[in-house]
Amino acid sequence: DAGITQSPRHKVTETGTPVTLRCHQTENHRYMYWYRQDPGHGLRLIHYSYGVKDTDKGEVSDGYSVSRSKTEDFLLTLESATSSQTSVYFCAISGRNTGELFFGEGSRLTVL
Amino acid sequence: GIQVEQSPPDLILQEGANSTLRCNFSDSVNNLQWFHQNPWGQLINLFYIPSGTKQNGRLSATTVATERYSLLYISSSQTTDSGVYFCAGTIQGAQKLVFGQGTRLTINP
């Protein structure tokens, strides 16, 4: 199994509070991705990174920011959480862009 | 943008049956992959199959990129095969994978 760890795995928070999800990998893969999964929408790309300090937006990036200060860590931040951001968030890694993708266990976020 | 259609959306089978899941793209596809999401939510990469045929135990996959489709075959189904199967791919020159909506497979004992 790919060494990908997401934290926290579950979080309940209130509208307007900041939230940070962490993805940690031990595979030294260059590419890291954040997806959200919602019923009826499948998996949608939020942001991705192609190297330290190199990031780009996905299809649903509004309300989210990311940072990658080390190869192994990719952080997803919700500056001011809203109920529409209640979702399951998956981190994924790949050795090359659009290459074979490996997912973390997911983080379930509930915004009340 | 690229459209990905998976069929059937739902499939219910008895243990031991065989099944074929299909993934159609609206344009010629690259980097095609198949994933299984188990009932606990874990997403597992089954195949990275940009073209041709691959087999892994009871599972096999075939991609015909120029015809814009891929097939996932599951033989002698087991209850542990239950879950949702997703395909994903990119069109020529695109930088991001697009996922289908998934096929929900239920294998009854």
**Which residues of chain B carry a pLDDT beneath 70?**
1-2, 92-94
Pairwise CB contact (< 8 Å): A43 & B41: no
CB contact under 8 A, B97 and A105: no
The rounded distance, in Å, linking the Cα atoms of B17 and B37 is 20
Q: Which residue of B has its CA nearest to A36?
A: B99
Nearest chain A Cα distance for residue B59, angstroms: 17
- Maximum pairwise Cα distance, chain B: 44
The per-residue pLDDT for B1 is 65
Answer whether residue A1 shows pLDDT above 60.
Answer: no
Out of A44, A100, A106, the one facing B45 most closely (by C-beta) is: A100
DSSP letters along B88-101, please? EEEETT--S-EE--
What pLDDT is stored for residue B91 in this prediction?
73
Distance CA B3, CA B77 (A): 29
Report pLDDT for A65: 97
Name which of A98, A102, A106 is nearest B95 (Cβ-Cβ).
Answer: A98
Pick the closest to residue B72 from B16, B19, B15, B1 (CA basis): B19
- Paired sense of beta strands B83-91 and B98-99, if any: antiparallel
Q: Do A101 and B99 touch (CB under 8 A)?
A: no
Contacts of B10 (CB under 8 A, 6+ apart): B103, B104, B106
Searching chain B, which residue's CA lies closest to the CA of residue A105?
Answer: B42
The angle subtended at Cα B96 by Cα A87 and Cα A92, nearest 5°, is 50
Q: What token pair was written down for B52? A: 């041709």
DSSP B38-63: -TT--EEEEEE-SSEEEEETTEEEEE
**Distance, in angstroms, between A41 CA and closest chain B CA?**
7
Asked if A39 is an interface residue toward chain B (Cβ–Cβ < 8 A), one would say: no
Q: What is the pLDDT of residues A49-104, one digit of tens each?
A: 999 999 999 999 999 999 999 999 999 999 999 999 999 999 999 987 778 999 99
Encode pLDDT of B12-40 as tens digits: 999 999 999 999 998 888 889 999 999 99
Asked if A48 and A32 count as a contact pair (C-beta separation under 8 A), the reply is: yes
